[in-house]
Chains A and B, each alone.
Chain A
Amino acid sequence: MAIVELERVTKDYALGQTKVHALRGIDLQIEEGEFISVAGASGSGKSTLLNLIGGLDSPTSGVIRINGAPINHLRESQLNRLRLQTIGFIFQSFNLIPVLNVYENVELPLLIMKEVSPQERKERVNHFIAAVGLSGQVKQKPYELSGGQRQRVAVARALVTKPRIVLADEPTANLDSKTGLEIIDLMHRINRSEETTFIFSTHDAKIMQRADRVIYLEDGLIKPDGSGRNEDRP
């Protein structure tokens, strides 16, 4: 069974009197453990697609299933739980809490996970900080870190809840290409070791080549030839 499934999903935005058709009928299946890139020009609908999958917004029509269950009509509290337990987010501009240090930023999501004991919380935070290679910087504040390091913190924060899906909207757009590739490779390693499904958007050809599969978006539609497998995996 696909972990993410979209059926004829559309999304319109009202822009004054007119409507912007951001997504115009997306059919998509993503299997557990995939490392997928959503590619496309700016304005093609990448962010919209990821936001819908993440339950941050709801589609105008169509069905989105996570783990087989439709999320269209979930109550807000259920969406909160879905985002907390099943989905992790990585953002283009890192979105770390500026007043918190590395450790605390990673710890943040676990504060509302009552099922994780303080002991396990500590272990998990340290484990994922180590996994992104920042064990030496736990006490540092975001402003003391480089862009690449900040995004590593964000990756650790997304993973610390042990989500089954990580959504990353242009995670490398604010990084130089070398650092961007490092982040993608880090995500890929974690994808394999933790078997977490990764869906990341990008408009950078080098970055999308690192994905197992690339979905090309154009004007709110998946290009017919655009769902191909990458042969040249890293």
Chain B
Amino acid sequence: MRWTTLAWKNLSGSWRRAFSVGSFTFFAGLFMVCFICFIDSVKTNMENAVINALAGEIRLAPAGAEEEDIFSLSGSWEDTGSLTKEEIDGAEQVIKEIISPVETVKRVRHNVLLISDTGETGAMILGIEPHATAYRKVLSLRAGRYIEHDYEVILTETQAESLQVGVGDILGVLAQTKAGYNIDSALTVVGIGSIDLLNLFGYNVAYTDLRSAGELLGLAEGEATDVIIYTGNPARATEIKTQLAASLTGHPIAVTTWGQTAGFIMGGLNFLSILYSSFTVILLFIIGVLLTNIISMTLLERRQEIGTLRAIGFSRWRIAWLFLLEIALLTGFFCLLGVGTGSGLVLFLGRRTLEIPPPINYFTGNHFRLIYNPVRMLPVIGIICGVTLAVAFFPVYRAAKVKPVELLQEKN
């Protein structure tokens, strides 16, 4: 017979009690897994949206633009300057030498006035090269298509509504060039759609083509307000940025990562992590209190058994260890069961994209897909088992400390 056999037999001998303790560990595991996967998925989806719609993984901008808040619709971006064709060509040369980017997108951003027959609205436009693909991954179209030619625009649903236009309509555009002249132009609405997640953060941007946006800002051909780069590996952005920045010293170009330009939006998600942590702490606290009680009661019932073992020659440490082994087996089993069930649930729900109703869609967007990351299960198991054993130690030690005669006193 092994110690684990003994512990296991003791547990199964009183399975009702074991189950009552175990069910809490089970739910803790289940809850923690589901919540962690939810937060991770929200974060990943948000990262995805931010990177693909807006920030790129790495961004080249005119020197001095590092601190710029690229989400801001206010202020005049035209003041922040632009990159010349030579600067961009030079930088692209350097980039090609160091990395092989999946996609490099020149962009022009500007604030304009969109005018239809029935109304007008101020908007931020983002001119991109028509061949750009990254934004297509996160901008879901309700109607029409993506940008393919010059003088085209994709409106958000809000913009289309307030202007009362649809796909195929032509909009007037009024803007001010960086030199300060007024300029007008016309754009065809080719699509209507929005970026779920960012929409809810008040991010309303109309995608247009690079040429129209450049003209509206008064830029020459080949100039841009910034260039964003996709390497296909967002996690390595900082590393690549450092490398690029070193190679671009001398160029009047600021290199930033998506974490720097869009960090504040990700920071907003920390609220979720705090929520999760508080729930977890409360849950573990409840488990702790319950466990202490149940263990103390159990040990009272098992006084004679402890006394017998002490008489046989078991040391109090050995007995404490035996009880802790029982508790470790119990919580380990139910914790794994909970984590397993949680994982199963997440994997099952993650098989399809879910339609999320308000208000949860504030975090998730309207279409949400749960992502499962097995590595994140280890800390869950560690925390649950660690807390349970720590909590169990005190009553167990106290019970094992009692003098053997007192434990053996006959009750009759």
Contacts and interface: CB of A to CB of B under 8 A. Distances in A.
Contact of A51 (B13, B318, B405): B405
B247 interface: no
A177 interface: no
B217 to A, nearest CB: 81
Contacts of B1: 100, 104, 107-108, 111
Contacts of B405: 51, 56-57
Q: Is the interface of B mostly helix, strand, loop or mixed?
A: helix
B117 interface: no
Interface in B279-317: 304-305, 307-316
B81 interface: no
Interface string A20-38: 0000000000000000000
Given A99-B12, A100-B9, A107-B1, A56 B408 contact: yes
Contact of A97 (B3, B308, B311, B408): B308
B315 A89 contact: no
Contact of A108 (B13, B310, B312): B312
A91 interface: yes
Contacts of B318: 112
B218 to A, nearest CB: 86
B143 interface: no
B234 interface: no
Nearest to A97: B305
A81 B313 contact: yes
**Interface size class of chain B, counting residues whose CB lies under 8 Å from the partner chain:** 20 to 34
A142 B313 CA distance: 21
A77 interface: yes
A99 B304 CA distance: 14
A85 B313 CA distance: 8
B403 interface: yes
A98 B13 contact: yes
Given A57-B405, A91-B408, A104-B1, A99 B10 contact: yes
A100 to B, nearest CB: 6
B410 A95 contact: no
A107 B312 CA distance: 11
Contacts of A80: 310, 313-315
A55 B309 CA distance: 14
A47 B409 CA distance: 10
Contacts of B311: 54, 56, 83, 89, 91
Nearest to B13: A99
A95 B305 CA distance: 7
Interface of A: 47, 51, 54, 56-57, 76-77, 80-85, 89, 91-93, 95, 97-100, 104, 107-109, 111-112, 157, 161
Given A56-B403, A104-B6, 12 more contacts: A54-B311, A57-B405, A77-B315, A80-B310, A82-B313, A91-B308, A93-B410, A95-B408, A99-B12, A99-B13, A104-B5, A111-B3
23 contacts: A51-B405, A54-B311, A56-B404, A57-B403, A57-B404, A77-B315, A80-B313, A83-B311, A83-B313, A89-B311, A91-B308, A95-B304, A95-B308, A95-B408, A99-B9, A99-B13, A104-B9, A107-B1, A108-B312, A109-B312, A109-B313, A111-B1, A112-B314
